[in-house]
Each structure stands twice: as structure tokens, then as C-alpha cells.
Structure 1
């Protein structure tokens, strides 16, 4: 329901996944369809990097020194790498929403937020309205330990993911980017992809400009 958290107990969730898997995995997300999705997301990553570098770097890639430069960018003090990455994410996500909306209407979610209970192995979907209300009220602890992947592919229910993708925009071009390591909170000491995989039941994939989806 809008503004509320939705919970699927693990047993029921598995039954739903099994029932949906026959068509969802075999038809909704066959290899050709999966490739089409990943091609669209890869093009969005390329476009985002090109557009942001044109706007802020005259079209060229920043040097390692420029990447680490820390000052006010976009109204906040941070490194250039953080600023450019955030801007590229915004552009890529808007592109993905447009492209997937045409390719797969109702079958994906942009930046869904989940809470996962490691004891009960239940996952909850926190609606955008609920998230916004918590942030507005300053209840940041309520979102502690939640995860928010960039793109989740599903067959109409974001609690039953079929594929999970995260855009990565390294400031200096490279063919691999390590997933983030949580340093605090309930996931401290664990890698982002490990937590995503456990919480969502599918292996998350990175999408890099010019590289595309990494294995």
C-alpha cells in the first residue's frame, strides 16, 4: 500500500517465486530480453558519462589529480570524483527509466529501497512516499541498514527480483570497479554485492561506461 512497507514471509515468497519462475524466468526474462535490457542500460551509462563530461570537463576525462580535488562542487564540498559520479548517476537513471519504460513497462523499478532482516530472511519494500516522509521527519535511523540498488528487473512485483543492476562511474576509466565495502551499520565489513545478493536472491551486476555489464 502507498506509504506502507510490504512484507513477504520467506515461505510464501518462495512459493510466489516458484509460481512466477516458469513464465518470468523462461519468458519474461529470456536471454534475448535480458540482453536487450543490458544493452539499453549500457547505452545509458555511456550517454551519461559523455553528457556530464561535456558539461563539466569540456568533454575530456579528468586526471587522477583532478578526480581527488576536493572543494565546493554543485553547492557541496566534496571531491570532483564524487560530484561527477553523482551527476552521471542522475542522468543514467533518468535514461534507464525512459528506455525500460518503453521496453518493459511495469517490469522494473528505479532505486527501490528494501529492508532485509537477516534473522527472519524477510525483505520489505519501503515505498518512495514512506522513504520521503522518514527523511523529511529526520528519522534516518529508520532507514539504517536498508539497501537501494539502481535498477531492479521484475515481473510486476519488486519483491520478486529477476535481475539487479548498479551503475558505476569511476572517475578514471577502468574495466572493473570494486563494489562498496560497508564500514558501519548492520552490514559493516560486508561487500555491497554480497548484501544485495543475499537480500534480493539474485546476483547483482555492475554497469560501467564503455564496458557494459560486468560478469
Structure 2
């Protein structure tokens, strides 16, 4: 107990002189801690989620147009022929052009989201966070991005086996495990095709399972993961 409090306990009239914080400083500190805890636990309200979804759709549209202009030429749009064309990627693999376009659009869309939300909502959303179900506890873990970066730099890709990485996750402040919304960007090629969830390929621990099912399994069965695409918006 500090001296101000001890003095006030002997002379309660001092309350008007030194204030409530001096009389019961522990209550003041508890109130601050409670306020801090409430801020950390605060989830996204409906109006905020609507604002974010508007940003996601606008970023998807912007990424679609900008990447098409950059990789296909100004004013050109995707067609079935363009999407199916076989090309060689930066790693020397032969892939469909639609795959290259989709990867570039994902990068552009995520950069757009960071630019639009980073200044106002830092700590309340994550881009491509990694989650993994702990084999010992059966509980889902969030992987520190710095640790993941070290694994990738060291070529230890096997450590990421079984991880999932949704594009955008809204969560409580500073707590990527208290998840409220999950979104994946989808860039169908051509763009007028419906945006759909993908199945995990052979060799994956989740082979033949749908992405949204796996997301719910690891992140919460009450979640409803949504796709975001230029033509169809949030679905």
C-alpha cells in the first residue's frame, strides 16, 4: 500500500484532495488492465466486417485489371485460350498461363489489402497466416511468420507439411487464434467462371478434401470461410 493510500485510510476526507486513484490505486490499475483485456478481446463488429469485405472485393478487382494489363498487355482480358496456354514459369516448370496470372493476382490483391487496412486495423487481421494441428495435443497452433520464414530460407519445407494458410483472417487484436472471419481470393480464368473452392492434391495430408472443409476443421466448425473474386465478390 502506497503512502497516499495509507494517509487517506487514516483521513478519508483527503479523497477530495488526492482523488480516487490515490485512495484505491489497485482499483485504478485493475480498471486499466480490464480495459486493455477488453481491447485485445474485441472482435470485429458487423459494420467493420462489411467495410473489410468491400475492401477485399475492390482489391480483387484492382489486382485482376492491373495484372492483366501488365502480363497480357494494356486492355487485354483473359479468354479460355489464353488461360489454357502452356508456358514456363520462373522455376522452369510448364504450367497453364492461368496459373501464372492467378498467382500474380493473389500477390497483388494481398498487397492491396495490406495497404488499405494496415494503417487502421493492424493487429486485427493477418495475411496468409500459417496454422497447424499439433499432433500431440490435437489443438491448432498458429506459426510465427518469422519462424516460417527461417524454415523456408533453410529449405525445410517439410516442416510446413499439414499447414494451412488462408489468404485473409480477421481475428481479435493480437490473437490470430481467436478467429472471426476467413477469406480466400479466387481468380478464375477466364474471369467469368464461378469462383469455387479447390480440392487438395494427391500427396497432401488433406488429399481430395475441399479447402473450406479443412479450414473449418482446423480453425473452427462454426466458421463459414468465404471466397472473394473480381466478378462474384464475397461468397
TM-score relative to the length of structure 1 = 0.81
Alpha-carbon offset, residue 54 of structure 1: 1.0
RMSD: 2.0
1:210 aligns to 2:231 (yes or no): yes
1:175 and 1:211 in contact (8 A); partners too:
no
Kindly provide the CA deviation profile for residues 177-211 of structure 1, in whole angstroms up to 9, marking residues without a partner as x: 22111122221221111001111112211000032
Rg (Cα) greater in structure: 2
1:74 and 1:83 in contact (8 A); partners too:
no
Selected match of 2:58 from 31, 43, 59:
43
2: CA distance between counterparts of 1:175 and 1:199?
29
* Counterpart for residue 173 of structure 1: 191
Deviates more, 1:192-201 or 1:53-62: 53-62
* Counterpart for residue 187 of structure 1: 206
Name structure 2 gaps, 5 residues minimum. 1-36
Of structures 1 and 2, the one with the larger relative CO (CA 8 A, separation 6+) is 1
Name structure 1 gaps, 5 residues minimum. 1-18
Alpha-carbon offset, residue 119 of structure 1: 7.5
2: CA distance between counterparts of 1:168 and 1:41?
11
Trace 1:70-149 onto structure 2 (pairs within 5 A).
70-74=86-90, 76=92, 77-117=94-134, 120-149=137-166
Deviates more, 1:141-150 or 1:73-82: 73-82
Alpha-carbon offset, residue 151 of structure 1: 0.7
Kindly provide the CA deviation profile for residues 79-127 of structure 1, in whole angstroms up to 9, marking residues without a partner as x: 1101100111111000001111134222101111110247844111111
1:164 aligns to 2:185 (yes or no): no
2:186 and 2:196 in contact (8 A); partners too:
no
Deviates more, 1:49-58 or 1:116-125: 116-125
2:195 and 2:232 in contact (8 A); partners too:
no
* Counterpart for residue 46 of structure 2: 31
1:117 and 1:123 in contact (8 A); partners too:
yes
* Counterpart for residue 11 of structure 1: none
1:52 and 1:84 in contact (8 A); partners too:
yes
Aligned length: 191
Query: Secondary structure of the residue that 1:188 maps to in structure 2?
Result: coil
TM-score relative to the length of structure 2 = 0.75
